[in-house]
Amino acid sequence: MARLVFLGRLADLAGAGERAVEPGPLAEVLALLPPDLAIALLDERVRIALNGELVGGPESIVLRPGDELAFLPPVSGG
Amino acid sequence: MARLVFLGRLADLAGAGERAVEPGPLAEVLALLPPDLAIALLDERVRIALNGELVGGPESIVLRPGDELAFLPPVSGG
Amino acid sequence: MATEVHLLTHPFHPGQYVGPFTTAHPGLGGVCTFVGEVRGENGVEALELSHYEPLTLPGMKALAQRAVARFGLMGILVVHRSGVMLPGEPIVCVSAVASHRRAAFDAVDFAMDHLKSDSWFWKREKRCGTWRWIDPRPDDYAARDRW
Amino acid sequence: MATEVHLLTHPFHPGQYVGPFTTAHPGLGGVCTFVGEVRGENGVEALELSHYEPLTLPGMKALAQRAVARFGLMGILVVHRSGVMLPGEPIVCVSAVASHRRAAFDAVDFAMDHLKSDSWFWKREKRCGTWRWIDPRPDDYAARDRW
């Protein structure tokens, strides 16, 4: 299994801070999520970190077993 | 008697932090001091405080009994 | 030690960090410290900061090192809370020691601007018993872009 | 209490003043503090500050009040030493509490610039056993004239 991690209000939308998913191409992983969540995760302002490292975009990501993919919405001001 | 108070390096020049003097017009008081001290006290960068209040210049000052006249050279930078 | 970064999940007293940090740098000229606290205005009952550990700590350490290099500091201390905080509790403490005041001042200002705009912290506020997420403010980016 | 000014002739720990000062202002957003210490560089063995009491304290109180009014502070703390100090001893501590960081920062910066240029302190340094007076530096006036 792999893990998706949701930060900020994405955690509210997902109903949890993280979610175990089957490994595979990200497009296939997201297709199994509720559509409103998948759309929110693909918002261009949402940054993505794969195993703790920021990556460019979601297009080419293929999740392998044990991977952790974090979705980081814009951080709060303050 | 009245008192003259010397701050900073003026105290070194005067040999003491203060000096008791006879009351009277300041010009007469200074005339009785060592000339190098009198000249240093009249340097235009030296501010003067009479009884704790800054005053404009030495010209019109007449010391009365109990007065304290302080000579304040430029303060040090940090 | 040039940089000291702490991420805490419990309340802290800034002086307990700033005191030893300052003592650890003999010969310093000046120490500038900023402490930000949870404001209780507008009926805020609590503030919660969440973060993503694998990014937060490395990001804060990198920011601390950038500040040291850029301003020629003797050292910098960054302490940041996460979790649920009540009004009056310190959220963040940044302290910079340097030979001269200007460097210490500018380093703390720089670090605070970047902590606010670049750090991976998400905030929500509780008012009248309801939690609400706080969105980014455009002027945080403007502050960062001063540098 | 909006302004708190202390002129001390003995060594002090900034935290002993900043801690209670901060606690006395619940609801603050930020606290900025600057502490200047005696530098031991260039063989300085001791520093002596002398002042003229009838001007120093009123001048510092007036400066504190100007800072509160100008920056809308909740309060400001100014602690200043006089007498003979050794390297590493704090000379000055200025701490400002405000609703927002910028006001606290600018107020401390403002107060430090004016303390250095407007205050009635005369300094001399001891090196190799000999005391030497320190003259004003032109950039102190330049710093003050920023405001």
Nearest neighbour of B77 by CB, restricted to D50, D120, D134 = D134
C-alpha separations of A54 from A64, C49, C56 in Å: 17, 21, 12
3-class DSSP string for C67-115: HHHHHCCCEEEEEEECEEECCCCEEEEEEEEECCHHHHHHHHHHHHHHH
Q: What is the pLDDT of residues D71-114, one digit of tens each?
A: 999 999 999 999 999 999 999 999 999 999 999 999 999 999 99
Q: What is the CATH number of the domain that holds D36?
A: 3.90.1170.40
Structural tokens at position D127? 């090196």
Rg (CA), chain C: 15
φ, ψ at A4 (rounded to 5°): -100, 135
| CA atoms within a 13 Å half-sphere pointing along the CA-CB vector of D41 | 8
Per-residue confidence (pLDDT) for residue B74, from 0 to 100: 87
Interface touch D54/B52, C-beta < 8 Å: yes
CA distance B63 to chain D (A): 18
pLDDT at B22 over 90: yes
Q: Which chain D residues have a beta carbon less than 8 Å from that of C33?
A: 31-35
Q: Give the domain ranges of chain B.
A: 2-67
DSSP secondary structure, D108-126, as one string: HHHHHHHHHHHS-EEEEEE
Residue of C143 and B57 predicted with greater confidence? B57
Lowest mean pLDDT among A2-11, C71-80, D7-16, D41-50: D41-50
pLDDT at B78 over 60: no
Q: What is the pLDDT of residues C29-56, one digit of tens each?
A: 899 999 999 987 788 899 999 999 899 9
Number of structural domains chain C divides into: 1
Residue B4: pLDDT band by 50, 70, 90 thresholds? very high
Task: Count Cβ atoms below 10 Å from residue D38 Cβ, excluding itself.
Answer: 21
Residue type, D35: V
Per-residue confidence (pLDDT) for residue D140, from 0 to 100: 62
Nearest neighbour of C27 by CB, restricted to D27, D36, D41 = D41
Residue of C131 and C137 predicted with greater confidence? C131
Q: What is the mean pLDDT of residues A62-75?
A: 94
CA distance D70 to chain B (A): 24
pLDDT at C66 over 80: yes
CA distance D93 to chain B (A): 14
pLDDT at D24 over 90: no
Q: Which residues contact D42 (CB under 8 A, 6 or more apart)?
A: D127
The pTM assigned to this predicted structure is 0.86
Q: Which residues contact A21 (CB under 8 A, 6 or more apart)?
A: A1, A2, A3, A4, A29, A32, A63
Residue type, C122: W
Q: Does B75 touch chain D (CB under 8 A)?
A: yes
pLDDT at A38 over 90: yes
pLDDT at C118 over 80: no
Q: Starting from the edge strand earliest in sequence, which strands make up the sheet with B18-21, in order?
A: B18-21, B2-6, B68-72, B47-50, B53-55
For chains C and D, what is the number of CB pairs under 8 angstroms?
Answer: 82
CA distance C121 to A77: 9
Nearest neighbour of D105 by CB, restricted to C28, C37, C109 = C109
Is residue C119 exposed (0-12), middle (13-18) or buried (19+ Cβ within 10 Å)? buried
Q: What is the pLDDT of residues D56-72, one digit of tens each?
A: 999 999 999 999 999 99
Q: Which chain D residues have a beta carbon less than 8 Å from that of C22?
A: 35
CA distance B50 to C26: 42
List the domain range (segments joined by +) for residue C47: 2-145
CA distance D64 to chain B (A): 19
C-alpha separations of C72 from B58, C32, C75 in Å: 47, 14, 9
Interface touch C36/D105, C-beta < 8 Å: no
pLDDT at A78 over 60: no
CA distance D145 to D147: 5
pLDDT at B17 over 70: yes
Per-residue confidence (pLDDT) for residue C107, from 0 to 100: 97
Q: What is the mean pLDDT of residues A56-70?
A: 92
Interface touch D136/B72, C-beta < 8 Å: no
Residue C147: pLDDT band by 50, 70, 90 thresholds? confident
CA distance C53 to chain D (A): 25
| CA atoms within a 13 Å half-sphere pointing along the CA-CB vector of C113 | 18
Interface touch B74/D133, C-beta < 8 Å: no
| CA atoms within a 13 Å half-sphere pointing along the CA-CB vector of B31 | 6
Q: Does B35 touch chain D (CB under 8 A)?
A: no
Rg (CA), chain D: 15
CA distance B62 to B48: 13
Residue type, D3: T
Interface touch C27/D99, C-beta < 8 Å: no
Task: Count Cβ atoms below 10 Å from residue C70 Cβ, excluding itself.
Answer: 14
Residue of C105 and D116 predicted with greater confidence? C105
CA distance B23 to B4: 10
